[in-house]
């Protein structure tokens, strides 16, 4: 039964500053590269047939580090903006904790974790879901159905959207889901698209 592995990219320079990054194309910092290499070590027992990655640099750099550790620089890779991070609109570049202090925890959590609460000039998680799950169904799931092991490297919110789809998480429960930087979700998926097993790995 094939594996689907989801990885959130390593720490970026803006992650380190606690700034909302969104679609800003920021590179990994050295800590982020180290976590990515650790991810690769965790996955050394798996042989991947294809990788999917967002169009943003921090995800691609994470995948590059993983490929080196696995000795799989030749791994076929598909890049797609459908897997990009959520567009945080007018919040992009602003410090999360300063905004929380200014607007209060309730407003902050609505912006950060809610399903369909808008940020000014940006996307909701629902908007992200509506680009991620069709892409998964059209491109990624056919690989799994064909018995291929697939690696997906993307972002906190694009992966939250995909996990919501895979696990059928209700809208009102999705605020409770957080995927940490560098965290690995390891699934086995059957030919009907159902999750048969799940394991979460967090490199330190």
Write down the catalytic residue from 9, 65, 123, 155. 9
Q: What angle do CA 99, 53, 131 make, to 5 degrees?
A: 65
- State residue 204's pLDDT score: 67
Question: Is 85 annotated in the active site?
Answer: yes
- For residues 70 and 47, give the distance between their C-alpha atoms in angstroms, rounded to a whole number: 9
Annotated binding site: 8-15, 21-22, 58, 85-88, 96, 112-113, 156-157
**Cα Rg of the chain, angstroms:** 16
Q: Give 20-30 pLDDT, tens digit per residue.
A: 999 999 999 99
Ranges of each domain in the chain: 3-155
- State residue 164's pLDDT score: 98
Question: Is 30 annotated in the active site?
Answer: no
Write down the catalytic residue from 65, 85, 123, 155. 85
Annotated binding site for substrate: 8-15, 21-22, 58, 85-88, 96, 112-113, 156-157
* 181: nearest Cα among 66, 83, 35: 35
- For residues 167 and 185, give the distance between their C-alpha atoms in angstroms, rounded to a whole number: 12
| SS3 category, 155 | coil
Give the DSSP H or E segment for 16: helix 13-16
**In this structure, what token pair is assigned to residue 200?**
């979460």
Which residues of the chain are under the pLDDT cut of 50? none
Fold entry, domain 3-155: Rossmann fold (3.40.50)
Chain-wide mean pLDDT for the chain?
96
Q: Cα–chain-centroid distance for residue 145?
A: 21
Report the predicted TM-score, pTM, of the whole model to 2 decimal places.
0.96
* Phi (first) and psi of residue 181, to 5 degrees: -60, 125
Dihedral angle, C-alpha 107, 11, 144, 50, nearest 10 °? 150
Eight-class DSSP state of 28: B
């Amino acid at each position: 039964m094939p594996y689907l592995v989801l990885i959130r990219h390593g720490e970026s320079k803006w992650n380190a500053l606690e700034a909302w990054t969104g679609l800003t194309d920021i590179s990994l910092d050295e800590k982020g590269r180290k976590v990515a290499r650790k991810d690769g070590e965790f996955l050394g027992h798996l042989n991947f047939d294809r990788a999917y990655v967002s169009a943003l640099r921090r995800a691609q750099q994470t995948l590059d580090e993983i490929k080196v550790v696995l000795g799989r620089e030749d791994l076929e890779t598909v890049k797609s903006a459908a897997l990009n991070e959520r567009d945080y609109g007018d919040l992009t570049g602003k410090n999360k904790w300063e905004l929380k202090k200014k607007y209060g925890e309730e407003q902050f959590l609505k912006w950060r974790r809610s399903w369909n609460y808008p940020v000014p000039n940006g996307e909701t998680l629902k908007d992200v879901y509506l680009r991620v799950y069709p892409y998964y169904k059209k491109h990624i799931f056919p690989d799994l159905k064909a018995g291929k092991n697939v690696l997906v490297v993307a972002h906190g919110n694009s992966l939250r959207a995909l996990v919501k789809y895979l696990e059928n998480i209700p809208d009102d429960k999705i605020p409770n889901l957080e995927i940490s930087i560098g965290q690995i979700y390891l699934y086995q998926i059957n030919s009907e698209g159902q999750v048969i097993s799940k394991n979460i790995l967090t490199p330190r």
